[in-house]
Amino acid sequence: MLIFKLLRATSIEKSLRVHGENLATSRDLRKKRAEKLLRNLWGTVVPVPSRKMFTRRRVLVAVGLAVPPALVLSASAWYREKHRPSLPAHTLGDLTGKVVVATGGSSGIGKASVQKLRDLGTTVINGSRKDGSLDLADLNSVKEFTSKIVEGGRCDLVLACAAEIYTDQSQLSVQGHDATFATNHLGLQALLSGLTDELKPKRIVIVGSKLARQGLIDPHLIRSSNGKALNSRPPPFSPVKHYADTKLCNHLLSRSLSLRSPSSKVLTVSPGMVDTDLWRNFSSLYQLVTFPIRYVALRTPEDASLGVVYALAAEEIEDVPSGSFMVDGRVEEWTEKEKDEEIGEQLYGVCEEIINDAKNK
């Protein structure tokens, strides 16, 4: 019996060894066939990747996917530090009892600026679509809001901070004007014209943008299209470039008002690149993808408000000429298109006509 068991164990061992050799041979054959196939495809022997090679490749892919975002975010953080606001030494004046009329004070830069102005003792009247007090895209709403301010009999400072970027080129205002143009410029001109004519505020600060340097406007086309088109820029439509067009309108308005209203000091302030709700009309995917960069690289509304409040409240502003363009408390030169007085006057006249047409309807 013992001999029988030994013989059986020996037989099983031999069978397993043969089976293992067959498996190894089978693997070798598969490998050779794969190499032959690759040789036929590429004309040379390409080694078949091993399991270790696959693991190594996964690590390299993971590193390759992780490194670019890390570099982008690092660069974004460096950019933010490099562009933090650094204002010159200054003294904020005593604004106790002053009345500030603000637009866009419910969010972003406007909200942060309004809070700082209230801390300085001002009374802020904020026109906002959120609370139903002012819709700059609706000239009837602008007229009603302006009338209430004028009836109140006082407006010492004006902060024009409201802005929109609409991504739908066909979106129109209540009166049928381009929605971005109506919100960012047409309603603003109607408001400021009414306030400067009646109440003559001491300072007016319009929040502009260096993007205006990329803007294009054609006053004749604006008039002929009744505010539906600002220029003849070829397609495709770019919401950001269209926003830049309206900011160019703002800058020209600032200079025109400085000439028309010598009793008011009119300044335009560029707050820098800021992470605000201005992107809310873009797709959810766009907002999701750009959020990390916007959050890390761009200024906060609180940072951006420093230059705005400086222009409204600093005693040093007394020496700054009306119609100036300011960045972080320092005057910068206008570009040729921004200081074109002829185009500025044409634009002002055209917008005034469009505003009056809406009033008469």
Q: What pLDDT digit, counting tens, does each position of 223-238 carry? A: 999 999 999 999 999 9
Residue spans of alpha helices (H) in the chain = 2-42, 51-82, 108-119, 139-152, 179-181, 187-198, 219-224, 239-260, 284-297, 301-313, 341-360
Instruction: Answer yes or no: is pLDDT of 16 > 50.
Output: no
Amino acid (1-letter code) at residue 273: M
299 vs 73: CA distance, rounded Å: 14
Q: What are the C-alpha distances in Å from 305 to residues 112, 204, 274, 279, 297? A: 6, 15, 10, 18, 17
Residues 6+ apart with CB under 8 A from 206: 160, 188, 250, 253, 254, 266, 267, 268, 269
Instruction: Answer yes or no: is pLDDT of 118 > 70.
Output: yes
CB 174 within 8 A of CB 183: no
Lowest mean pLDDT among 45-59, 67-81, 280-294, 301-315: 45-59
What is the length of the chain?
Answer: 361
CA 343 to the chain's CA centroid:
27
Of the two residues 184 and 286, the one the predictor is more confident about is: 184
Phi and psi based region of residue 113 (left: phi greater than 0; alpha: psi -120 to 50; beta: remaining)? alpha
CB 191 within 8 A of CB 185: no
Give, as one character, the DSSP assignment of residue 304: H
Q: What is the model's pLDDT at position 20?
A: 45
Tokens 């008002």 found at: 257
pLDDT-derived band at 34, boundaries 50, 70, 90: low
Give, as one character, the DSSP assignment of residue 26: H
- Kindly list the structural domains of the chain, giving each domain's residue range(s) and its CATH number in brackets, ordered by start: 2-73 (no CATH), 92-360 (3.40.50.720)
| 103-116 pLDDT tens trace | 999 999 999 999 99
Residues 6+ apart with CB under 8 A from 292: 69, 73, 76
Give the mean model confidence (pLDDT) for residues 287-310. 90
Burial category of 229 from C-beta neighbours within 10 Å (exposed 0-12, middle 13-18, buried 19 and up): middle
% of the chain beyond a pLDDT of 70: 77
Q: What is the model's pLDDT at position 8?
A: 47
Give, as one character, the DSSP assignment of residue 324: E
Backbone angles phi, psi at 32, to 5 degrees: -65, -40
201 vs 264: CA distance, rounded Å: 6
Amino acid (1-letter code) at residue 172: L
Give the pairing of strands 324-327 and 330-332. antiparallel
Give the SS3 label for residue 39.
helix
Q: What are the C-alpha distances in Å from 114 to residues 93, 111, 172, 202, 305? A: 15, 5, 29, 17, 9
Instruction: Tell me the two tokens of residue 227.
Output: 């505010």
182 vs 205: CA distance, rounded Å: 19
| 317-347 pLDDT tens trace | 999 999 999 999 999 999 999 999 999 999 9
Q: Name beta bridge partners: 102.
A: 126, 159
